[in-house]
Amino acid sequence: MTRRIAYQGEPGANSHQVCKQHYPDWETVPCASFEDVFAVVESGEADLAMIPIDNSIAGRVADIHHFLPGSGLHIIAEHFLRIRFHLLGVPGSSLDTITTVHSHVHALGQCRKVIREHGLKPVIAGDTAGAAREVAELGDPTQAAISPPLAAEIYGLDVLAEDIEDEEHNTTRFVVLSPDLVQAPSGNGPVVTSFIFNVRNLPAALYKALGGFATNGVNMTKLESYMVGGEFIATQFLAEVDGHPDDVGLKRALEELAFFTTDVKILGVYPADPFRAEVSR
């Protein structure tokens, strides 16, 4: 029986690319929104979800932090994808014929140099791969798309320019979500633990809550806050640390965290992607 993995976007999107790269034998399920991705996994229509959570240029991906805590899904893996954008046009078009370029607002912002160099008029599309589809459907040699390389193959477009992104370090971190809690074993390589917690609305509550990680030698790699339920007095935090909850240091830190918070929920304990070791050298 074929297993299915869901992602947000149209075929050819970066999320589709990372699915094909790490789950090549799985059926991919494109979804119009992140909410739809969570829904198809929660309903059992798909086995896993591939979700972008951070980008090295744009920062955190909106909405994910609100969907994840209440979804009942668990992080079981992470994957980093170097983001590559190509300038695509219909067969027969060239850099001399194109006047307008379509893409997602973030992609347009990340490829300003080529847009300015060729004097192109940017048009915002809902999705990078969707922009490629729209250009293919138009069949107009004056129209181009900024899209991932996979989109050229899927929609039969010519590559007019490769790797046009302004920054070479443009990288997106994806997490794989599962309805089943599958924790990486302890003592079998680097592990990341993701969790959420709420602090009481008291002076120095966050300072006290995090103190145990410093005193126990636990490296915290992410700490983000956001409002919950539209209330200004209730702040939820998403944190990630190096290590396994069974490790002595992290176990003690989590126990201390519980004293100063109203709720602690482990979202996932999963192998660290080798990319982390590469960038820390």
Give the strand pairing for 48-55 and 4-8.
parallel
Q: How many degrees, rounded to 5, is the angle at CA 269 between CA 268 and CA 273?
A: 105
Instruction: State the Cα–Cα distance between residues 145 and 108, nearest whole angstrom.
Output: 10
User: What is the DSSP secondary-structure string of 27-40?
Assistant: EEEEESSHHHHHHH
The sign of the dihedral angle between the CA atoms of 127, 130, 131, 134 is: negative
**What strands, in cross-sheet order, belong to the sheet with 158-161?**
121-124, 100-103, 143-147, 86-89, 158-161
Instruction: Please tell me which residue in 38, 80, 174, 237 is annotated as part of the active site.
Output: 174
- Residue 97 catalytic? no
Instruction: Please tell me which residue in 34, 38, 128, 172 is annotated as part of the active site.
Output: 172
Would you give the distance in Å from CA 239 to the centre of its chain? 16
User: C-alpha distances in angstroms, 250 versus 91, 223, 236?
Assistant: 56, 16, 20
Residue 136 and residue 156 in contact, taking contact as beta carbons nearer than 8 Å: yes
Of the chain, the end-to-end C-alpha distance in Å amounts to 42
- Residue 197 catalytic? no
Using DSSP's 3-state secondary structure scheme, residue 201 falls into coil
The residues that bridge with 173 in the sheet, in sequence order, are 54, 80
In this structure, how many other beta carbons lie within 10 angstroms of the beta carbon of residue 255?
12
Active-site amino acid positions: 172, 174
